[in-house]
A and B are shown apart, each in its own frame.
Chain A
Amino acid sequence: MVDRIKDYLSRFYIVFIFIFLYAPILVMIVLSFNASRSRVIWGGFTLDWYTQLFASNEVMEALTTTIILAVASATIATLIGTIGAIGINAMREKNYKLVLAFTNIPMLNADIVTGIALMLWFVRFMPLGFGSVLIAHITFNIPYVILSVMPKIRQMNLSVYEAARDLGANALYAFMKITLPQLMGGIMSGFFMAFTMSMDDFAITYFTKGAGVNTLSTMIYSQIRKGIKPEMYALSTLIFAFVFVILLLVNYVPKMKKRGGR
C-alpha cells in the first residue's frame, strides 16, 4: 500500500517536472500558429508564419550560418578532441592532470568572460566574423568531446590493439578496426553534445561575431526590443519537431528491431 502511494507520488512528481520543462515549448508552438501578431491574444489558426519563414532571407541566412557553424565546429572539435584524448591518456599522471585542468577552464569559466577574452584576443590579429565565431565554438566544444571520449579510452582494452599489431595489422588499420569502434559511443555522444551546445550558444557568439554575421540566437536577441517576429516561433517549432523525430528514431527504432528480431 505504502509502495503504491510512493509509486503514485513518483509519477506525479515526474509529470510535474515534465510540465515545467515543456510549458514554454508548448507556448512557443501555440504562438507559431497564432494569426494575431500579439503575444497575448489568440487570433485564430494560421500557417502564414511558416510560409513567410521560408521567404525571409534574413532568417534563412541565420539558420544556414547556425547549422554550418554547428556542423563544422562539432566536427573539428570531435577530431581534435578525440585524437587529443588519446594523447592525453598516454601522458604521465602529472601532465595528464594538468591538461585536464586546462580542459575544464572553458567549462568552468563564465560564458561572458570566455566570449570577451576571445574577442579581445581576436581583435588583435583578425577581423571578427564567421572565422572568429567558428574558432570560439570549437574552443568551447572540445572539452565536451574530451570528457565524453576519455572514459571510453580508460575502459578500452589495449591488448586487442596490440594483438592486431602482432598479427600484422599496420597502425592505421588496427586503429580503424580496433580502437575506433571501441571509442565510437563516446565520440558520437561528444559530437552530439558539441553540436547541441553550438546551436544553443548565445553569449560567446554575441561577443565574437562582429557585425554582419548572425546566428539564430543573436538574431533573436537583436529582435527582443523591437518585438520578436512570429516567424521565429515557426522556425523553432520546426527545428524542435525535426529533432524530436530524429531523437525518437535514434532512441527507439533500434530497440524495436531488437525486440522484433527475438
Chain B
Amino acid sequence: MENKRKLNKRTWFSMPYILWIIGFTVIPLLVIFQDAFVTPEGGFTAQNVLAIFEPVHLKSMLLSLEIALACTLICMLLAYPLVLALRRLKLGRQGFLLFVLILPMWMNFILRLLAWQMILSKNGILNMLLGFIGISPLPIANTWISILIGVVYDYLPFMILPIYNAIAEIDEDIIEAAKDLGAGGFTIFKKIILPLSVPGLLSGIVMVFVPSMTSFVVSDVLGGGKIQLIGNVIEQEFTKNVDWNLGSGLSVSLMIFVLISMAFTMKNDPEGKESAIW
C-alpha cells in the first residue's frame, strides 16, 4: 500500500511531458484539422480534405503509395539477409552494426541524395562503370526508379535495426536444440527465426513505409522536379500556391491514410513492445 502511494506520487513526474504532448502534439493536430475544414472566409467545407480524390492529387497519392510499398518490400529483402549474414559471422555485436548504419546519417541527407544524383545521372558514375564492362547506359536519371533507389538508401537502416534487434535476442540454445532434434537450416528459419523476427519486421515496416511515402525532398532531388509525389503537392500548396487550407486538407487526408495503415500493421504486433526501435 505504502509502495503504491509512492508510485502514484511519482506519476507527477510525467507532468512536463504531458503538458508538452498537449501543447505541441495534440493542439497542432487539432489546428491542422481546423484549417483543413474551413474556407478562407471561415465557413465549413469538406472540399479540402476530399480534394485528395481529384485526379491530379489521386495520381500523386497512388504513385507515392507504389513507391512506398516497393521501398518497404526492397528494404525487407535487403535487410533480412544482411541480418542473417551478420548473425552468422557473429558481427553486429560490439556496436559494429550500429556504427556502420548510423555513420552515414551524419553526412547531411540532402547531400547524400545529391551524391546519388551524380551516381545515377546520364553521364554519371554508374553508367561510366557499366560502360567499362560493356553495358549500355541505363536511362534511370530523373525517373521513379532513381527516386526508389533514393528512398531505399535513406530508410534501409530503419529496417535493418529493428530486425537485427529482434533476431539478436533469439537464444542460440533454442537453435542448438532444434538442430539436435534434427531440424535443417530451412526448418530452423521457418519455425524459429522468422516467427520471432515478426515484431522487428513490423516496426521496420512502420519506420520505412511512412517516411518513404511522404518525403518530398527525395523526389525533388532525384525526380528532377518532374515527378510529383503527394509530399511535393502538399509542400507546394504551402510555398508556391499559398493555399494553406487546401494544403492542410491534403495533409489531413494523408495523415488519416498513414495512421490507418499503420494502426493495421501495429495491430498485428502481438505484444506491441517492438515499437521501440533502438
Contact = CB atoms under 8 A, between A and B. Distances in A.
A39 B125 CA distance: 11
Contact of B107 (A11, A111, A240): A240
Contacts of B210: 108-110
Nearest to A145: B17
Interface string B64-108: 000000000000001001101110110100111001111111111
A91 B111 contact: no
Interface in A103-132: 103-106, 108-114, 116-118, 120-121, 124
B255 to A, nearest CB: 5
B101 A83 contact: no
Given A95-B11, A102-B21, A239-B108, 13 more contacts: A10-B89, A25-B104, A81-B17, A86-B10, A88-B11, A89-B10, A90-B9, A90-B14, A99-B14, A102-B25, A109-B210, A109-B255, A147-B276
A142 B17 contact: yes
B163 interface: no
B26 interface: yes
B258 A109 contact: yes
Contacts of B135: none
Interface in A145-203: 146-148, 150-151, 162, 189, 193, 196, 199-200, 202-203
A49 to B, nearest CB: 13
Interface of A: 6-7, 9-11, 13-14, 17-18, 20-25, 27-28, 31, 39-40, 80-81, 83-91, 95, 99, 102-106, 108-114, 116-118, 120-121, 124, 135-136, 138-139, 142, 144, 146-148, 150-151, 162, 189, 193, 196, 199-200, 202-203, 207, 216-217, 220-221, 224, 228, 232-233, 236, 239-240, 243-244, 247, 251, 255
Nearest to B263: A108
Contacts of A108: 206, 210, 258-259, 262
B11 to A, nearest CB: 5
B8 A224 contact: no
Interface in B190-241: 206, 210-211, 213-217, 220-221, 231, 234-235, 238
A25 B220 contact: no
Contacts of B8: 90
A147 B278 contact: yes
Interface in B15-63: 15-18, 20-21, 24-29, 31-32, 35
Contact of B15 (A21, A28, A87, A89): A87
B115 A25 contact: yes
B107 A87 contact: no
B254 interface: yes
B259 A109 contact: yes
Contact of A117 (B18, B31, B206, B214): B31
B275 A243 contact: no
B85 A14 contact: yes
B78 A116 contact: no
A76 B61 CA distance: 37
Contacts, number: 246
B32 A113 contact: yes
A87 B14 contact: yes
Contact of A113 (B103, B105, B214): B214
A112 B216 contact: yes
B111 A220 contact: yes
A236 B108 contact: yes
Nearest to A220: B110
B178 interface: no
B268 interface: no
Contacts of A117: 28-29, 31-32, 251
Contact of A251 (B11, B99, B235, B254): B99
A204 to B, nearest CB: 11
B10 A87 contact: yes
